[in-house]
Amino acid sequence: MQSPQRAKSLVDIATLSALVVIFDYTLKFSGWKIPFPWFPTLRFDFSGIPIMLSMFLRGVQAGGMTSAVAFFAILVRSADPIGASMKAMAEFATMLGVAPFAMRSERKWKAASVAMGLVLRVVVTSGANLVVLPVVYGWKFPTAVSFLPWLGLFNSVQGSISILGGYLIYEGIAKRIPTLTGKKHAQFY
């Protein structure tokens, strides 16, 4: 009976994708996004949490689909393909870094998954910004390079919000509804 399980997975992905849209739109239009002090154009939000939760519950493919929904939601809201791409790419990279070690029960593996998620996020966003800032926004390359430490700090904090928020909610669900988070749902490959 794979069909009912597939339908349940699609419902879970759709629900978490809708939560990404709700978080993004609510925080944007309410003014509750917290600006990064050293570059207020960058803002902290919670839209990465449902992406991580989607990956924890249904695997990397589900997290990827939820990231794609985040891209389209931001694109529709802002008509900014660069900003939408950067946000979706950052959250997707974070999820990919977390995935290999995420479902192991030992603390060292969970710590490794957080570290890998943050490192991959910072590396990917730094590389993308070394292209986007000079080419799209006209920054001089040395200026873009000098901005990378601040960008890395921002992405480390934002990635921590996404990963730890997703882990906390997942652990809460696992304690209350263990059948939802069984091993058959936690396989990423």
Taking only the tens place, the pLDDT of each residue in 100-113 is: 988 777 788 888 99
Number of separate domains in the chain: 1
Q: What is the CATH number of the domain that holds 169?
A: 1.10.1760.20
Q: Report whether 129 contacts 94 (CB < 8 A).
A: no
Alpha helices by DSSP H, the chain: 2-30, 48-58, 60-78, 81-98, 107-135, 141-176
Q: Calculate what percentage of the chain has a pLDDT beyond 70.
A: 93
Give the DSSP letter of residue 36. P
Q: Report whether 117 contacts 55 (CB < 8 A).
A: no
Query: What digits encode the pLDDT tens for the residues 137-165?
Result: 999 999 999 999 999 999 999 999 999 99
Owner of token pair 């926004």: 137
The parent domain of residue 62 ranges over 2-185
pTM (2 d.p.):
0.86
pLDDT > 90? residue 14: no
Q: Which helix (H) or strand (E) holds 35?
A: strand 34-35
